[in-house]
Homo-oligomer: A and B are copies of this chain.
Amino acid sequence: MNGDVGRLRRGRSAEGRAEVRHELVVAAVGLFRTQGYEDTTIDDIAAAAGVGRRTFFRYFRSKEDAISPDHEAALARVAEVFEAAHPREPAAPLVLRAGETVFDMYAEDPHLSVERFRLTHEVPALRDRESASVDHYRRLFTRYLRLRFAGESDGELRAAVTGAAVVAAHNLALRAWLATGAPADGVDACRKRFRRVADMLPGEPVPSEGLHAVTRRLEAAVGRLEHGR
């Protein structure tokens, strides 16, 4: 957009740091794609971004970090959703909302998300790292759910199962969207697909279709019987 005015001083201000960071990500993703992940060294990335090798490690903890740089921030945003929720809000809509928060962050930069998706499927090292990242979300979900289900019998198990199920469903929907190139008109379908997990969660099911509907029919039937008697 705007010329970078000689590009001689870049990282000294706050915007400068963000700019350098972004250039490093672009350089890393581009090089990983063109010459492969294993065959790309930190020197290559730093040189392509026009900074020193040492500076790379001031922005990212490791080589893999250059692809998913905002993981901690993403976790923090999800934690915020949980902490801002009303303590008596049912679990299902809450976890759905939290999951969609993650989805929104992926949708912020679809191109990078797709590129990362391809890399994490082709490079074993990156796939394992992705597994670990996803597991951080699972733990976060489970931790908050454990608080909500505390006291009820098998509450811990319900928290573990619910957290794992939500994260798995989220990834299923997200990957389907990313695999097709993350089109803008596929966002709604992805959301809907994710929300279907609500019918498969243990414990209090959603009121529409599911156990509640049956229960309600039963209650109505019993009511009719009692009154008719």
Contact = CB atoms under 8 A, between A and B. Distances in A.
Please report whether the interface of chain A is mostly helix, strand, loop or mixed according to DSSP.
helix
Interface in A139-191: 142, 154, 156-158, 160-161, 163-165, 167-169, 171-172
**Stoichiometry (number of copies):** 2
**Interface size grouping (class) on chain A:** 35 or more
Given A167-B164, A226-B221, A196 B157 contact: yes
Interface stretch (A8-16, A101-109, A129-137): A129-137
Contact of A218 (B172, B215, B228): B215
Interface of A: 127-129, 131-132, 134-135, 138, 142, 154, 156-158, 160-161, 163-165, 167-169, 171-172, 193, 196-197, 199-203, 211-212, 214-215, 217-219, 221-222, 224-226, 228-229
